[in-house]
Amino acid sequence: MHTGSFPRTRMRRNRRDDWSRRLVRERPLGVDDLIWPVFVQEGDNQRTPIPAMPGVERLSIDILCEEVGRAAELGIPAVALFPIVDPATKSEEAREATNPENLVCRAVRALKERVKNIGVICDVALDPFTSHGQDGLVRDGYVVNDETVAMLQKQAVVQAQAGCDVIAPSDMMDGRIGAVRDALDREGFIHTRIMSYAAKYASAYYGPFRHAMDTARNLGAADKRTYQMDPGNSDEAVREAALDLDEGADMLMVKPGMPYLDIVRRLKEELRAPTYVYQVSGEYAMLRSTADLGRLDFRAAMLEALAGFKRAGADGILTYSAVDAARWLKNG
């Protein structure tokens, strides 16, 4: 039996009981940290399972409103909408993106009318609407910057007119945050927030999302490396995020999540701005598919992953498991 002062400092003391572990927890995960990305489709009373993302569905607007209502009751602060666009309306110039009656605008109006006390975030990029699957307009095989930004301004305005609370440009075009901010302000949407996909990497982890959005076939063998970030770069992420803040971004996002926790930490520590992280489709699918094989406890693994984002410095997390996580956190 040890006596005296050996060891004087015992780190395990605070780990001994559940109550003391909760008392000293540094960055506890809570429902307020969760943002739920949701896929919306045409039709009525429609749920379409997404094979590449087990447990995730495309929802028609009526079902979407019901499910988002339940999310609001759980205390989830916001949802992020991603439209499954009818292939017949896709074009090289992404004209449907600026249609005030497009799917995402109709979904926003329905949500704002039927569901209270939850924020609505809209993705601003052209890839759901382009026949080639790129996030911008293509000229001679290259995604051009300034013409794309002009389209993004129009897209952002129609979404704000529909009632969107947060515009989230995910396209990674240079200067788009300032341009979108100017366009929103000119139209009187001074309170509409901008959550910038400030550090969006050209990642292999987006595969299931592209199948869910039905953009994989449009993109084909092409990639997005001329505008999304190189996975090896870190300093560049800080520069991108700092530029977006200077241009008027209210919030920053890092995408993907788990492979880029160092980027989350750097942005939070160096820029001290509201910083979010997207647990993308590939991350979700890995955990869910492995759990479905019986080789992983999905609940335990998912909560651990989400806690890791908080520990790295994230102020909030976009996760397809937001509703499940909210229930787990509330029910213990």
Q: Give the residue numbers marked as catalytic.
A: 200, 255
277, 318 contact by CB (below 8 A): yes
When computed from its CA atoms, the radius of gyration of the chain, rounded to whole angstroms, is 21
| Of 58, 133, 123, nearest in space to 94 by CA | 133
Task: Give CA–CA dist 302/225, Å, rounded.
Answer: 29
CB atoms within 10 A of CB 51: 10
Residue bearing tokens 């000293």: 24
Number of H helices, E strands in the chain: 12, 12
Strands (E), 17-150: 34-41, 47-49, 57-60, 78-83, 119-124, 138-139, 142-143
CA angle 153, 154, 157 (to 5 degrees): 90
Residue 246, judged by CB atoms within 10 A of its CB (0-12, 13-18, 19+), counts as exposed
| Of 235, 282, 237, 286, nearest in space to 256 by CA | 282
φ, ψ (nearest 5 deg) of residue 148:
-65, -45
Task: Give CA–CA dist 74/85, Å, rounded.
Answer: 29
Distances (CA, A) of 266 to 40, 139, 150, 260, 270: 34, 35, 31, 10, 6
